[in-house]
Amino acid sequence: MTNMVFTIRSLKLLCQMVVIGMSMASSLGFSASRSDIQKKITQILSDPSLKNMQIGIQATSLKADEKVFEYHPADLLKPASNVKLVTTLAALKYLGPDYRFKTKLYTDGVIKNGVKNGILQGNLYIKGFGDPLLVSEQLWFLVNDLKRVGFQEVKGDLILDDSFFDLIRTVRDGHPANGNGRDRAYDAPLGALSVNFNTTTVYVYPGSAVGKKARVVIDPDNTYVKVINRSKTLRANTSLTLDASREIGKVSDTIIVTGGIPLTYPVKRFYRNITYPHLYAAALFRRFFKEQGLSVQGKNQFKEVPPYAREILVYESRPLRILVGDLNKISNNFVAEQMLKTMAAELKQPPGSTDKGLSILQGFLQEIGVKDPYQLVNGSGLSADNKMSSAQLVEVLKYGYKNFGVFPEYMASMGIVGVDGTVSLRLQNTVAQGRIRAKTGSLFGVSALSGYLNTLNNETLAFSMIMNDPQDRTELMQGIQDKILLTLCELK
DSSP letter at 187?
G
Cα distances (angstroms) measured from residue 49 to each of 70, 77, 477: 20, 19, 10
What pLDDT, on the 0 to 100 scale, is given for residue 31? 58
Residue 339 CA to residue 347 CA, distance in Å, equals 12
Confidence tier at 15 by pLDDT (50, 70, 90): very low
Residue 156 CA to residue 367 CA, distance in Å, equals 50
H-helix or E-strand spanning residue 160: strand 158-161
Task: Give, in degrees to the nearest 5, the angle at Cα 370 between 365 and 375.
Answer: 70
pTM: 0.90
DSSP letter at 250?
S
pLDDT at 183 over 80: yes
Residue 75: Cβ-neighbour burial (10 angstroms; 0-12, 13-18, 19+): middle
Taking the alpha carbons at both ends of the chain, their separation in whole angstroms is 46
Going along the chain from its start, the domains and CATH numbers come out as 28-98+320-489 (3.40.710.10), 102-169+277-316 (3.50.80.20), 179-273 (no CATH)
**What are the tens digits of pLDDT across the range 17-49?**
433 343 333 334 445 788 999 999 999 999 999
Residue 401 CA to residue 451 CA, distance in Å, equals 10
Residue 340: Cβ-neighbour burial (10 angstroms; 0-12, 13-18, 19+): buried
**What are the tens digits of pLDDT across the range 348-400?**
999 999 999 999 999 999 999 999 999 999 999 999 999 999 999 999 999 99
β-pairing verdict for 446-454 and 436-443: antiparallel
What percent of the chain is modeled with pLDDT above 70? 90
Residue 116: Cβ-neighbour burial (10 angstroms; 0-12, 13-18, 19+): exposed
Q: Which amino acid is at 64?
A: A
Confidence tier at 148 by pLDDT (50, 70, 90): confident
What pLDDT, on the 0 to 100 scale, is given for residue 118? 84
pLDDT at 470 over 90: yes
DSSP letter at 239?
P
H-helix or E-strand spanning residue 104: strand 102-107
* Nearest to 66, CA basis, from 37, 89, 31, 30: 37
**What are the tens digits of pLDDT across the range 208-218?**
999 999 999 99
DSSP labels, 296-314 = E-S-EEE-PPPTT-EEEEE
Average the pLDDT over each of 6-15, 130-139, 259-268, 316-325 and give the range with the smallest value. 6-15
Judge contact between 391 and 73, C-beta under 8 A. yes
